[in-house]
Chain A
Amino acid sequence: MNPLNVLAALGARALWLLTSLGHASLFFVELVRHTPAALRRFDLSLVQIHAIGNLSLVIIVTSGASVGGVLALQAYYALDRYGAAESVGLLVALSLLRELGPVLTALLFAGRAGTSLTAEIGLMKAGEQLAAMEIMAVDPRSRVLAPRFLAGIISMPLLSAIFSAVGVAGGYVVAVKLIGIDSAAFWSQMQDGVDVFKDVGNGVVKTIVFGVASTFVALYIGYESDATPEGVAQATTRTVVISSVSVLILDFLLTSLMFSTRP
């Protein structure tokens, strides 16, 4: 173990990390720059919204209902000890709207839509479709990447809203129908405690940020993947890992900004 080699390797790794970050930032700028083109050819984006959004509905709805139900169940056991069982609705709604809705939707989105994006772009690169487009003077960034970016940004808030709404409905079914909490108390406690701008609004802002982040990560990793089957496979796993970690870190940053109690 030559210590100089280790240091050299460390230095090389650090430099690689910095270059990747720079490369990724430039890629992000290019994505944003080509988004107006995606708006002009909206039919391309429409197909992508279908692929990313509609086809994710099944997993989002089932996960939302389950998470809402589980939250209601666990919340009831905890709150009943303090005689606050009627606040179950409030707890379920706040948890979903502020945190679980955006974050879980983003993680599921990264897993389902993110990997499909990465694999698709990676395979296009492996099959030389992107190079062929460039030869035909069609910019692959406007034709292939920007519509998917736009579709991701549009789909995420919608999916998250559906997740939270189904979650609240699941919580209602468990709390009111199964456990037997008073329905009026359930809804009125929730309506008193949830603020449209602070909770629902901040949740929407979070989903937009997460949508941008996870779609960007998926597209970048797909675009930069090795043009081989193994390269594409590695790229899909890397997408899930990096998207998920970024979403969770961003969630912490956004929560500390949005929900701080400073006046």
Chain B
Amino acid sequence: MEKRNVETLVGVFVVLGALALVFLSLKAANLASFSFDSTYSVTARFDNVGGLKIRAPVKSAGVTIGRIKSISFDDKNFQGVVKLELDRHYQFPTDTSAKILTSGLLGDQYIGLEPGADDKSLQPGDSIKLTQSAVVLEDLIGKALYGKAAESGGRQREGAK
């Protein structure tokens, strides 16, 4: 009788621990979303992947429809090669374009897909042809300063005439 009591209590303890783990995984973490749906892979090449991270979302129309599987470097074309995993429920035409966008102003970066108009759909292993690289803040600032300098230089020359 004593032994049965102990065994039951330990069983309850183990069940409580397992439930806690399940609660943490589902409610506190992102196990419930997406991870185990069937997916297909496509690749996209960018001149600059910016701050893109693995497992960053792939969104279209603002809805997450995939995740980034891997980011690697191609030293033949000197481009970044990003492998995307898209939910199998959603098909995209072959002339879909991929852009690297930032959520918010300074948030994490993700890939946004804009569908094209082709009849044929992207097959697993296909490559997205139209890509737009990440916006690099330093280049933007450089352009703004250069633009400002050119503008004020032009005005000076006009004033001197």
Interface residues of A (CB under 8 A from B): 43, 46-47, 49-50, 53-54, 57, 93, 97, 154-155, 157-159, 161-162, 164-166, 168, 187, 190-192, 194-196, 199-200, 204
B25 CB contact (under 8 Å) in A46, A54, A192, A200: A200
Main secondary structure of the interface of A (DSSP, over half): helix
Contact across chains for A50 and B29 when beta carbons are under 8 A apart: no
Contact across chains for B29 and A199 when beta carbons are under 8 A apart: yes
Instruction: Give bound CA distance, A168 to B14, whole Å.
Output: 19
What 13 new A-B contacts, CB under 8 Å, besides A157-B17, A196-B30? A46-B7, A54-B12, A155-B13, A158-B16, A161-B17, A161-B21, A161-B24, A162-B16, A168-B23, A194-B28, A195-B30, A196-B29, A196-B31
Interface Cβ pair total, 8 Å cutoff: 82
User: Contacts A161-B20, A162-B16, A162-B20 hold; do A191 and B27 have CB atoms under 8 A apart?
Assistant: yes
Q: Which residue of A lies closest to B16 (CB)?
A: A162
Instruction: Give bound CA distance, A168 to B33, whole Å.
Output: 20
B28 CB contact (under 8 Å) in A50, A93, A159: A93
**Residue B9 interfacial (CB < 8 Å):** yes
Contact code string B65-76 (vs A, CB < 8 Å = 1, else 0): 000000000000
**Residue B10 interfacial (CB < 8 Å):** yes
Residues of B within 8 A of A155 (CB): 13
Instruction: Give bound CA distance, A157 to B24, whole Å.
Output: 13
Instruction: Give bound CA distance, A187 to B30, whole Å.
Output: 11
How far is the CB of A71 from the nearest CB of chain B, in Å?
13
